[in-house]
Every structure is written in C-alpha cells, then in structure tokens.
Structure 1
Amino acid sequence: MSVEGVNGIGKTTAARAIARRVGARCLLLDELTDHSDGGGFARNVIAALSARHDPFLRTGHPAAETLALLALQLRKTERLTATGTAGAEIVLEDRGVDSVAAYQAAILAQQHPGVSLIELAQHLLGSTRPWRRHPDVTILLTGDTAVCARRFADRIGRPLTAGDLALLTQIDAVYRRMADDEPARYTVLDTTGWGPHEVTDAVGEVVVSVLDRRSAGVS
C-alpha cells in the first residue's frame, strides 16, 4: 500500500501518524529522498539530485534523474525483500513508483512539448513492472495545490516560483489521471479544507479497512 500526492499535501505526516497508531501491524517505508535510508547508494544518488537545491530534484538532466529515481525505488524493494516485513500485516509506503511516474512525466514533458503526460506516466510506471510489484492499494491525496505549495515552501524555507507552482499543479493532474485509469487500485481523498488530523483520520480509515479485510481473508 502506498500514500501518494504532491508536496505539501500532508501524506508524510499522515503516514507516520498512522504507522504509530497501527503499531506492529504496519511497516512504514519512509520516502527515500527525505531520509536516505537506502544505504550508501541512496545517499549518493540523493546527494547528486540535490546538488542544485531544486525543490523537484531537477539537475538539468531529466532522463538521468528519472532513471536514478526509479533505481531508488527498486533498491527500496530489494532492501525490503532482504530484511523482511518483521511480521507486519501491511507495508505502508510514503511515495512509491507512482510518485516517480507522475513527477517525472511532468518534468520530462517540459523538454518535449506536445507529449501526452498520462501516456508518459504510464510508460514510466509500466517499465517498473518486471522489477517490482506495484502497490495493491494506493491512497491518493489531492487538494488545493496553492495551499500545498505554501506548505512546501515553508518546509524548504524558500518560496516557489510561478513555474514551480505550475509544475505542482500539473503533477496533481497527472496523479488524478492515473487514478482514473486504475480505479480498482486507487482510493482518492480530496483533502481540500482539511487539517492534518482530518487527513490522518481519513487515510487511517482506509488502512484499517484494508487490514480488516486481510484479517478476514478478503482480498
């Protein structure tokens, strides 16, 4: 299971709160770009992507950035396979392959005018299928991207440009199209006007529902 959404939507706060709430039944996979917990490989990749201090990890080489981010996602899966889930009933991932597909499709498209964003996102997503299993449940948080941008800017300590805000809005639109294409996998929560506790409670309801279904043997 993964929690997705644009920067500032509240997914990381919700995922961590739910992991604490659910306890040993849930194993949280933090976002690698936040914590660099994938070993030396991940730290080196993130350092390279962060070299220009761009809020979207842009270095001027979007194809290479995309491959690097996909490699981080595959590395995350390898580490989980190697260490196991420690008896947890559910793995809750703070951003997974869907995030790379949505963000990098929007970034790559800036260098290729006229390309279909959703087709590009689906191509990126499909390229990972031979290497890792996609989440069986993906919770997509959507909302007011202007509010998300302000929260994101506060977190990184600098304002976003008009171009950054436009990119964030475009990424949100790609996420929504991806959800439309896979309604059986995605649960979309519109968090417009919600506070952190309301977002956490809504995501928590989905997580607990999945846990209860699995406990009852229902797929």
Structure 2
Amino acid sequence: MITSAQAGPLRVSVEGINGVGKTSAAQKATALLGARGVLLDELTDQVNDVLASRVIAALSGTGDPFLRTGHPVVETLALLALQVRKTERLTGQHLTGVDVILEDRGVDSVAVYQAAILCSVYPAARPEHVARRILADARRWCGLPDKTLLLTGDPEVCTQRFGHRIERALSAEDAHLITEIDRLYRVMADDDPQRYIVLDVADLSPQETVGVVHQTVTSLLERRRHIPAMRRPSA
C-alpha cells in the first residue's frame, strides 16, 4: 500500500455528450485549482502534438462532426492509439506539486462514441459489449482514469447546443447517435459505480456546472488525503 502523496496526481476524466458543457467545465475547473491542477486537452485540441493533430485532421477531413470517414474500425483504433499516446506524454512532464490531472474526454469517450458508431454500421453487435471491449483494451494499454465525472443533461437540448456551436444543423441520424451515446454512458456508469460519478447538470448554468465539477474534484482530493490509496490496478 502507498500513500496518496506517493501515488502521483489523481487522474480525473470529464465526460459527457456533445453540448453538455464538458469542455468549458473542465477548463475552468482546472483554472480554479491553480497550480494543483493540470488540464489534459481532448484529442481534437492536442495542438502541440503534431502527430495527433495530423491524425485528427485526417479523420475530420470529411467534415463529419463525429470524425466518421466510413472506416469505423480504423477510426476506433486510431483514436484509441492517440489516447495511449496522450497518456504516455504525461510521463516526462514535470508534475511536482500537481494533485490532479483533469482530462477533457479520455478513453471512456473512445469506448462509448466508437461503440455507438460501430454498431450503427454493424447492427448485429451489441453496443454495450463493444464499449466494454474497448475499455478492456484501454485498461491494458494505458490504464483508466481514477475517477470519471459523467456530466448528464437533456440529449435534445445538448444536441441543439452542439449544432449551434459548430454552426450547422445536425441530421436526425446525428441526433439519434447522441441519444445512443448518452444511453451508453449511463450503462458504463452503472457498470463501474466505483469509478464513475454522475453529475446531472441539466438545470445548471455553465458557471454552476463549473462549480459542481470543481467541488467534486476538491472533495475527491480531500478524501484522498485522508485515505491511503491502493496501488492502481491499471498502472
């Protein structure tokens, strides 16, 4: 057994469907943490990683909001590989004094989004089974977050917000995909209640959402200070 001080920074992923306010909450909550927190941007925002940027540019070349190129298996493997790379790049970073790494979308996003996309192409497969398989691979290759904060809201409202943000109307197929992703996230949270913390932000303002995320992370850190941490099985 090792103490939390020896275990390194707590890794917390912030997840949720498009338009739920996840990115803004992760960024602003990290800012409130100051030197104690480090933000790990989602794959589409990894501007300082040339390789990741090129892969994302290739996947987004068709203009699809979900990076669909017509080759869902290849897309899944590419995104999972980039998540492994993102985790590996943390190894050489100077993290002295950092208590928490707050990740804007992690392997849970790859598992849930790609499971929904794959099963829309191959309907014989069960989305829940595919998502669990992707997470099992991620656990072996780069580990899972210590905690995953799942922000939930009304899928219809979130879809409208997402469409407004990208300045395009989403198709009925895209709206259905977001609804399916929302369902899968909730299934994954039920599967792993020790890791997932579900935060219903449907009736909260963006600033209130930031406050809830910041308070939750602060509570996790406070709890970690007083309870010795077991060595993470994903390490």
Give the unaligned 5+ runs of structure 2.
1-11, 230-235
Indicate yes or no: 2:143 matched with 1:138.
no
If the length of structure 2 is used for normalisation, what is the TM-score? 0.89
1:64-213 pair list within 5 angstroms: 64-213=74-223
* Larger displacement relative to structure 2 (25-34 or 174-183): 25-34
CA contact (8 A) 1:5 1:172 kept: yes
Displacement of 1:47 in angstroms is 0.7
CA contact (8 A) 1:153 1:159 kept: yes
Q: Partners of 1:134 and 1:184 in 2: how far apart?
A: 12
SS at match of 1:200: helix
SS at match of 2:139: coil
Give the unaligned 5+ runs of structure 1.
none
Match of 1:12 in 2: 23
Match of 2:232 in 1: none
CA contact (8 A) 1:36 1:46 kept: no
1:18-62: per-residue Cα shift (whole Å, max 9, x none)? 11101011111011213433x221011011011001000000000
* Larger displacement relative to structure 2 (39-48 or 207-216): 207-216
Q: Partners of 1:84 and 1:147 in 2: how far apart?
A: 40
Q: Partners of 2:74 and 2:120 in 1: how far apart?
A: 15
CA contact (8 A) 2:87 2:142 kept: yes
Letter matched to residue 178 of structure 1: M
Displacement of 1:169 in angstroms is 0.4
Q: CA RMSD in A?
A: 1.2
Match of 1:34 in 2: 45
Q: Partners of 1:160 and 1:149 in 2: how far apart?
A: 8
How many equivalent residue pairs? 218
Q: Partners of 1:8 and 1:84 in 2: how far apart?
A: 32
Displacement of 1:78 in angstroms is 1.1
1:125 to 1:84, Cα distance in 2 relative to 1, 3 A: farther
* Larger displacement relative to structure 2 (195-204 or 5-14): 195-204
CA contact (8 A) 2:29 2:214 kept: yes
**Runs of 4+ in structure 1 over 3 Å off:** none
If the length of structure 1 is used for normalisation, what is the TM-score? 0.96
SS at match of 1:80: coil
Displacement of 1:218 in angstroms is 4.6
